[in-house]
Amino acid sequence: MSNQSTVMEFLLKGFSDDPNGQMLHFVIFLFIYVIALCGNALIITLVFLSHQLHTPMYFFLVNLSFSDICFISTTVPKSMAASLTNSKLISFYGCVAQIFLVITFASAELALLTIMAYDRYVAICHPLQYMLIMNWDTCSHLAAASWTSSLIHAIIETSITFCLNFCGSNIIEQFFCDIPQLQKISCTDTEANQLLIFVLGLIVDSFCFVFIFASYGYIFSAVLKIPSVQGRYKAFSTCIPHLTVFSLFILTVGFSYMRPKALSSPTVDLFSAVLYVVLPPVLNPIIYSLRNKDIQEALCKISKKVKNLLVGPR
């Protein structure tokens, strides 16, 4: 150990060393990044400009869209810059920051989806008390709690990860700093580290999963008791986008971190990271836009206003 120097920068392996492959990677990631930014920014703008969307449900959706923008911006721009400049180095403290931000926004995503499940539960199971229970003070406190708990979770996991020593290889087989890849190249025993992170993740994830599934158990039970078909459809239509987004996030994260080691390889690791870091921020606004009539109506109204401003009323 005394003859080995401490690693002060890491090399992100990325997708390809071939110039043509790097350019293809840059173009694909740029296209994906623009779609994610535009989609989430559009939802935030629509909610702010449309009075009918000033409800708790869309307040949390704005928080989710903001989290998605930050989540994808933590990894994709750095990866694009590495492909464009052929410089794949990231400093030690840059890696610390990237780990911290990835965990923060991934945790915020899960926390916000949990709160949104509670919001749907109150709206459908206790409709007459909805505005009393989900008042703006409550919504603000819930949003603040989700962000605060995400920051605390990120601080703990980042601290645990960088308690390890890095004095050997500095090559990370990933397009961003990822905890499992850092554990692989650490020159100290990582068993206790892995156990702590696993237990912490299990506690946080189990609470969110149980809460969301319990909420939807009550929701489906209440919806099935609604006598009219139209009423059941309306209730389900407000839940389907959230349930789809939650399922997408859980499946991608689960495949990334809970798949058998036999399925692990550099290529599969890269693919799985793209699934949970890149895919949810891109698809979330699309899912909410396609399945939500309120969003569609708000978009139509604002589009007409913009058209009238540009060309004038006929």
Q: Which pLDDT tens digit goes with each residue over 16-39?
A: 777 787 888 889 999 999 999 999
Determine if residue 86 is left, alpha or beta; phi over 0 gives left, psi from -120 to 50 gives alpha, anything else beta.
left
Q: What pLDDT, on a 0 to 100 scale, did the predictor assign at position 1? A: 39
Higher per-residue pLDDT: 261 or 69: 69
pLDDT tens digit string along 189-202? 778 877 887 787 77
| Cα distance between residue 240 and residue 288, in whole Å | 9
Given a contact cutoff of 8 angstroms between Cβ atoms, the answer to whether 270 and 256 are in contact is: no
Residue 302 tokens read as 């604002």
Please report whether residue 2 resides in a domain: no
Residue 115 tokens read as 């709160």
Q: How many domains does the chain have?
A: 1
Mean local confidence (pLDDT), 108-116: 91
Please report whether residue 91 resides in a domain: yes
Which CA distances in Å does 310 have to 38, 279, 296?
21, 35, 21
User: ∠ CA 210-251-152 to the nearest 5 degrees?
Assistant: 60
| Cα distance between residue 16 and residue 266, in whole Å | 12
Q: What pLDDT, on a 0 to 100 scale, did the predictor assign at position 3? A: 45
| Among 42, 26, 52, residue whose Cα is nearest residue 297 | 52
Please report whether residue 155 resides in a domain: yes
Neighbouring residues of 33: CB distance < 8 A, sequence distance ≥ 6: 72, 73, 76, 77, 80
Buried b / exposed e over 16-53, threshold 16 CB at 10 Å, is eeeeeebeebbeebeebbebbbebbebbbebbeebeeb
Q: What pLDDT, on a 0 to 100 scale, did the predictor assign at position 187? A: 83
Q: What pLDDT, on a 0 to 100 scale, did the predictor assign at position 290? A: 66
Q: What pLDDT, on a 0 to 100 scale, did the predictor assign at position 147? A: 95
Please report whether residue 1 resides in a domain: no
Is pLDDT at 103 greater than 60 in this prediction? Answer: yes
Mean local confidence (pLDDT), 91-97: 90
Please report whether residue 4 resides in a domain: no
152: domain range?
9-311
Which CA distances in Å does 44 have to 15, 35, 165?
32, 14, 42
CATH number at residue 247: 1.20.1070.10
Q: What pLDDT, on a 0 to 100 scale, did the predictor assign at position 2? A: 41
Q: What pLDDT, on a 0 to 100 scale, did the predictor assign at position 182? A: 85
Is pLDDT at 5 greater than 60 in this prediction? Answer: no
Q: How confident is the model at residue 105 (pLDDT cuts 50, 70, 90)?
A: very high
pLDDT tens digit string along 286-309? 887 766 777 878 788 877 877 777
Q: What pLDDT, on a 0 to 100 scale, did the predictor assign at position 222? A: 84
Mean local confidence (pLDDT), 55-72: 93
Is pLDDT at 277 greater than 80 in this prediction? Answer: yes
| Cα distance between residue 144 and residue 136, in whole Å | 12
DSSP letter assigned to residue 90: E
Mean local confidence (pLDDT), 205-220: 86
Q: What pLDDT, on a 0 to 100 scale, did the predictor assign at position 160? A: 87
Please report whether residue 291 resides in a domain: yes
| Beta bridge mates, 91 | 9
pTM: 0.88
Residue 61 C-beta-side C-alpha neighbours within 13 Å:
31
Q: What pLDDT, on a 0 to 100 scale, did the predictor assign at position 71? A: 93
Report the chain's mean pLDDT, rounded to a whole number.
83
SS (H, E, C) 132-192: HHCCHHHHHHHHHHHHHHHHHHHHHHHHHHCCCCCCCCCEECCCCCCHHHHHHHCCCCCHH
Q: What pLDDT, on a 0 to 100 scale, did the predictor assign at position 225? A: 80
Is pLDDT at 153 greater than 60 in this prediction? Answer: yes
Angle (deg, nearest 10), helices 266-277 and 279-291: 40
